[in-house]
Amino acid sequence: MKKITIAIDGFSSTGKSTLAKQIAKHLGYVFVDSGAMYRAITYYAMKNNFISETHLDTAKLIENLPFVTLQFRVNEALGFAEMYLNNENVELNIRTIEVSRLVSKIAAISEVRAKLVEQQQEMGKNKGIVMDGRDIGTVVFPDADLKLFMTASTETKAQRRFDELVEKGQHVTFEEVLQNVQERDYIDTHREDSPLVKAEDAIEIDNSHLSKKEQFELVMELVNEVL
């Protein structure tokens, strides 16, 4: 069977990674959560005091980018890949609300995007990949065989992210999460470099009222049409 490239883009907390993971598992493909890479760079910038709520030293971050290595390594026990920053497992560190608050500022820096896009294209060069993010169908894999664009109502998005964070034991309020989801979507759609837009040939899916199973079945029909 031929191998294809599947690009899943969309707004924050629309379940892109969950869907991408399900499809990749079903097809035996590689799954890449590109957001984890932007989050890892953000965590690196926070640790080195290049960014905080009140300042951003873009020049210092750019100067240090050549010394940052990112890798996904499969955790055999858990059955999924975890993010490593300079050989350190940062999977938990990158999912905090503090990183979520700053990541869109880091993701707006062109030099950061160029580095990560190059690495993402390398990972997809043999096809057989499902990657989710904001610019996968527009910039990373403009020739992807299937492009999906995920949306959901603001309340649904915030509720999903809130439940996810609470499950991970983080102390956040619903209001805080709602504000973060709205802020990120605003910055991601308004930035100059690779803004979040639906690729012309992407299929839009509003999953506000779809269960994970319904969504998976719907998407697998689309996948089978191009396989």
Binding region: 10-18
**Helix, strand, coil percent content, the chain, rounded in steps of 5:** 50, 20, 30
CA 116, CA 175: separation in Å to the nearest integer? 31
Residues 6+ apart with CB under 8 A from 17: 33, 35, 132
Among 6, 133, 149, 165, interactor with ligand C5P by CB under 6 A: 133
Q: How many residues bind ligand C5P (CB under 6 A)?
A: 14
Q: Between β-strands 129-133 and 70-75, what pairing exists: parallel, antiparallel or unpaired? A: unpaired
Please state the closest distance from residue 184 (CB atom) to ligand C5P, in A. Answer: 4
Question: Binding to ligand C5P by residue 188, rule CB under 6 A?
Answer: yes
Asked if 12 interacts with ligand C5P (CB under 6 A), we say yes
Distance (Å, whole) CA 158 – CA 178 = 5
Least distance in angstroms from the C-beta of 27 to ligand C5P? 21
Task: Work out which of 29, 31, 38, 141 binds ligand C5P, going by CB under 6 A.
Answer: 38
Binding site for ligand C5P (CB under 6 A): 12, 34-35, 38-39, 103-104, 107, 133-136, 184, 188
